[in-house]
A and B are shown apart, each in its own frame.
Chain A
């Protein structure tokens, strides 16, 4: 391992992708994600890779589809309005069983919204990033170091399950600098992709990448096969962090930037003698249902904290399944909640018990 250096989240994401063997980046600039593309523009040519600033987000995601079809590690990055534009392409990628990485450094929406940090694309990322029956992996880092670590995992799982993966970050994580240790990668072991439509000098039957099925039964079968893989991913890859939850009466559930704020609030609550804990989903899809369901046995109340009007709280309620009350607190539109505001909510919930 190397020494720790200060790095912006956006740049760390880019460096991590390069380390993970990604040599094909297609994007279009948008605040607060632009440093990521700028970093790629600087580095890719030196590595013999491709950096291409497309004419639009729609073009960029379709270039990703082309590169993924050829079997290489490929990615795109954007921020909320740009990700909406990519959604058609993401649906085609999912329908074609293609692995790739999509990074969303979220900002306030809807529409052009604003440029300050937000978590209002949770529903989009986890429920419907495009039309049709499909899911993508969604990872939610909360530190710059975790951004680095999750990029590699996202690429690996995307390859293993042949599906797109997303890093759902936000403007705060993208813009901030923190110490990171960039792992030294000696040799990459990438999964074989015998399905890829790459050159083979007539050594095999030609492969076809396609998402069109005119017979409903055929289409249904491909979707059922895909959902069997989703079930496998759900069983094996629910990732989370629990902090002080063992004896907690009030469990705050938060991911990404808002989990950092919630963590401070939980610590302050403990100092006041309130038994609070933090449950932090790291995979948003698959959502860590199993552990949260278990926690519903010991905790008395849950509080979802998000930088939105309340989106993940739906999944928290599904996981808790009515066993305990689930409350919500959020700020939206680019406003970052303060630890004091979250603490106020925790105190309110604790007060009801006494």
Chain B
């Protein structure tokens, strides 16, 4: 896959926008074309939030990902809404703690990771999103590990620099989990 059209989707507050930002930053570090487009509006408060991230070797046309080849649902409504939009051959990487459904389509690759449960067990309650980024990295190889680490450093705000280590740990949990 030279073009990654990713869709991160979940409830507002789960950090889907932040997860997407790490991915876009990593692509930028590797001098790829990248774009990040959030859903915006009332659906962000309590409803579903999602963000489109493109990482490509070519200039990016539409930044709105309508047919993702990497889909990362963090809740059931998002899973139901977008699962049929995934292109054949695409990858679905889902938080199996929150998405109870199984992927019934046979033309996509499904990866199940109980990210929310893993985060709770590791005492990093709000980092299920970053664990999923680790899993996305492992299953797609959209960038190098060095780029991912640098991107994480850039994405964690300066005022929260002390949280970098725990974020890196979350990434590693995602990478090391075997589904």
Contacts and interface: CB of A to CB of B under 8 A. Distances in A.
Interface of A: 4-6, 31-32, 115-116, 171-172, 175-179, 260-261, 263-265, 267, 336, 338-339
Interface in B24-74: 24-25, 28, 33-38, 40-41, 59-64, 66
Given A6-B25, A176-B35, A179-B34, A32 B61 contact: no
B34 A338 contact: no
B135 interface: no
16 contacts: A6-B24, A31-B40, A32-B40, A115-B41, A116-B41, A171-B40, A172-B37, A175-B38, A176-B63, A178-B34, A179-B28, A261-B62, A263-B61, A264-B61, A267-B61, A338-B62
A117 to B, nearest CB: 9
Given A5-B28, A175-B38, A338-B64, 16 more contacts: A6-B24, A6-B28, A115-B40, A172-B37, A172-B63, A172-B64, A176-B63, A178-B34, A178-B63, A179-B34, A260-B61, A263-B61, A336-B64, A338-B62, A339-B61, A339-B62
A5 B36 CA distance: 13
Q: Is the interface of A mostly helix, strand, loop or mixed?
A: mixed
Contacts of B66: 338
A31 B38 CA distance: 13
Contacts of B21: 6, 177
Contacts of B37: 172, 175-177
Nearest to B36: A177
Which size class do B's interface residues fall under?
A: 10 to 19
Contacts of B61: 260-261, 263-265, 267, 339
A176 B28 contact: no
A115 to B, nearest CB: 5
Contacts of A116: 41
B40 A260 contact: no
B28 A175 contact: no
B62 A264 contact: yes
Contacts of A4: 28
